[in-house]
Amino acid sequence: MSEKRKLVICAAAREIGISEGDMSNVFVTYQPGLYEVTFTTEWMTYDMFIDENTMEVLGIDYRPIPINSLLAQLPEAVQDVS
């Protein structure tokens, strides 16, 4: 993993107060001067824009993971709560 990529992921984790180990499905894309980091945590999906030079988070979009996706991860015996 490149040093810049590590710094960008660290900046994203620090911004929302989690450890990098709590992040999954991490994708980093780059456009001149700007990184975009997309990742999930246990309950949320995040999309962040980070300045290349300052590692400052310029914007965050976040939303809960849809409940159907969370239920699909449970063992079949506990999925039917009705």
Phi-psi domain of 30 (left: phi exceeds 0; alpha: psi -120 through 50; beta: other): beta
What's the confidence (pLDDT) of residue 73? 66
Q: What is the pLDDT of residue 22?
A: 95
- Residue extents of the structural domains in the chain: 3-79
Mean pLDDT by 10 residues, the chain (82 residues): 90 96 96 96 95 96 81 60 54
Q: Is 11 left (phi over 0), alpha (psi -120 to 50) or beta?
A: alpha
Domain 3-79 has CATH 3.10.450: yes
Element (H or E) spanning 11, and its range?
A: helix 3-16
Q: Residue 80: its pLDDT value, please? A: 57
- Cα 2 off chain centre by: 18
- Which pLDDT does position 66 carry in this prediction? 80
